[in-house]
Structure 1
Amino acid sequence: MTTATPPRATPGGLALGFLTGGVIGGSLAAFIGGCIVGKASLVVTGLALPAAYGLLFFLGTLPRRARDRAAVPRTALAMIESREAVAGEATEVPVRFDLTVAPDDGPAYRVAIRQGVHLSELPDYRPRGIVVVEYEPERPWKVRIVTRPTPAWEERAADAHLDSAPGPAMTGDARKGCVGGVLTVLGLLFGAASVLLLSGADPFGPDASGAAPQPSGTVVSSTTTVTSSTTVTSATGTVALGAGRSMLDQGELRTAVESLTQDAENRRALTVVVQERLLTIVFAPAGGQVAGFDPRALPFDRVAALVEDAGTTLGTGSPQSWQLTADGLTGRLTLRVMVTGDRGAGSLEADGQGNVLRRNGS
Structure 2
Amino acid sequence: MGTTGQGQRGAGEVNGRADKARSAPDGGFPAALRLTVVPGVTGAALAALVVGVILERVPVFVTGGGVLVLLILLAALGGRRRSAREEPPAGRIALARIEDLRATGGETADVPVKFRLTVAPEPEDGRPAYRVKISQYINLVDIPAYRPGGSAVVEYRPDKPWDVRIVTRPTPEWSRRAEAAEIGSAPESTLVSDPDAVEGSWCVLGLVALLAGAALVVLLFRGELFTSDESPAASQPPSSSSSRTFSTSTTVSGPSSSLLTFGRMRATAMELETRVDTAYVTAITIEDHRMAVRGDSALPPAETVHLQSLPYELFPGLVREARTTLGVREPESWRIDVTPGTGSGVGPRVRVTVSGAEGTASLDADATGRVTDRRAVGKPG
Q: TM-score, normalised by structure 2?
A: 0.48
Q: What secondary structure is seen at the aligned counterpart in 2 of 1:120? A: coil
Tell me the alpha carbon deviations over residues 54-97 of structure 1, each in whole angstroms, 9 at most, x when there is no partner: 45334323354456665122221111222233452523233332
Could you tell me the percent identity over the aligned residues?
36
Give the partner amino acid of 1:305.
Answer: R
Instruction: State yes or no: 1:174 paired with 2:196.
Output: yes
Output the amino acid matched with 1:99: L
- Aligned residue type for 1:184: G
Shift of residue 133, structure 1, vs aligned partner: 1.1
Aligned ranges for residues 133-282 of structure 1 at < 5 Å? 133-167=154-188, 169-176=191-198, 180=202, 183-192=205-214, 195=217, 202-205=220-223, 212=227, 221-222=229-230, 230=234
* 8 A Cα contact 1:33 1:204, kept in partner: no
Verify the 8 A CA contact 1:113 1:143 in the aligned structure 2.
yes
Shift of the 50–122 alpha-carbon distance from structure 1 to 2, 3 Å rule, reads farther
Please give the alpha-carbon distance, in whole angstroms, between the structure 2 residues aligned to 1:174 and 1:182: 13
The one-letter code sitting in structure 2 at the alignment partner of 1:61 is: G
Shift of 1:187: 1.6
Q: Which residue in the other structure is 1:305 paired with?
A: 275
Task: Give the alignment partner of residue 96 of structure 2, picking from 78, 83, 97.
Answer: 78
Please tell me whether the aligned partners of residues 37 and 203 of structure 1 are also in contact (alpha carbons under 8 angstroms). no
Deviates more, 1:92-101 or 1:67-76: 67-76
Unaligned runs of 5+ residues in structure 2 are 1-9, 242-271, 279-381
> Which of these two proteins has the greater Rg computed from alpha carbons?
2
The answer as to whether partners of 1:86 and 1:94 remain within 8 angstroms in 2 is yes
The Cα RMSD (Å) is: 4.1
**Counterparts in 2 of 1:307 and 1:101: CA distance versus 1, 3 Å:** farther
Matched, 1:94 2:112: yes
Q: Is residue 5 of structure 1 aligned with residue 31 of structure 2?
A: no
Shift in CA distance, 173/58, structure 1 to aligned 2, threshold 3 Å: farther
Q: Is the CA contact (8 Å cut-off) linking 2:18 and 2:193 kept in structure 1?
A: no
Paired residues of 2:132 and 2:192 also in contact (CA < 8 A) = yes
Deviation digits for residues 199-241 of structure 1 (CA, Å, limit 9, x no counterpart): xx8322259xxx85xxxxxxx63169xxxx949xxxxxxx9x9
1:131 Cα deviation (Å)?
Answer: 0.7
Name the structure with the higher helix share.
Answer: 2
Residue of 125, 147, 150 corresponding to 1:129: 150
In structure 2, the CA distance between the partners of 1:181 and 1:38, relative to structure 1 (3 Å rule), is: same
Answer whether contact 1:91 1:119 (CA < 8 A) is retained.
yes
The 10-residue stretch of structure 1 (40-49 or 186-195) with the greater mean CA deviation from structure 2: 40-49
Query: Helix, strand or coil for the counterpart of 1:77?
Result: strand
| Mapped partners of 2:216, 2:173: distance in 1 | 62
> Secondary structure, in 3 states, of the residue corresponding to 1:127?
coil
Q: For this pair of structures, how many residues does the alignment match?
A: 226
Measured in 2, the distance between the counterparts of 1:71 and 1:178 equals: 26
Does residue 35 (structure 1) correspond to residue 49 (structure 2)? The answer is: no
Cα separation, partners in 2 of 1:84 and 1:15, compared to 1, 3 Å:
farther
CA–CA separation in structure 1 for the residues paired with 2:276 and 2:72: 31
Distance 1:190 1:87 in 2: 40
Residue 111 of structure 1: CA displacement? 1.2
2:54 counterpart letter in structure 1: I
Letter in 2 for 1:33: V
| Separation of aligned partners in 1, 2:147 and 2:99 | 9
Which has the larger displacement, 139-148 or 174-183? 174-183
Cα 1:107–1:307 change in 2 (3 A) is farther
Deviation at 1:117, TM superposition (A): 1.9
- The one-letter code sitting in structure 2 at the alignment partner of 1:101 is V
SS at match of 2:188: coil
Return closer, same or farther for 1:104/1:183 CA change in 2, 3 Å cut-off: same
Alpha-carbon separation, structure 2, partners of 1:117 and 1:13: 38
- After superposition, give the CA deviation of every residue in 1:102-128 in whole Å (9 maximum; x if it has no partner): 112331101122322222222222222
Structure 1: gaps of 5 or more residues: 213-219, 232-238, 242-246, 252-301, 309-362
Q: Which secondary structure state, in structure 1, belongs to the residue aligned with residue 35 of structure 2?
A: helix
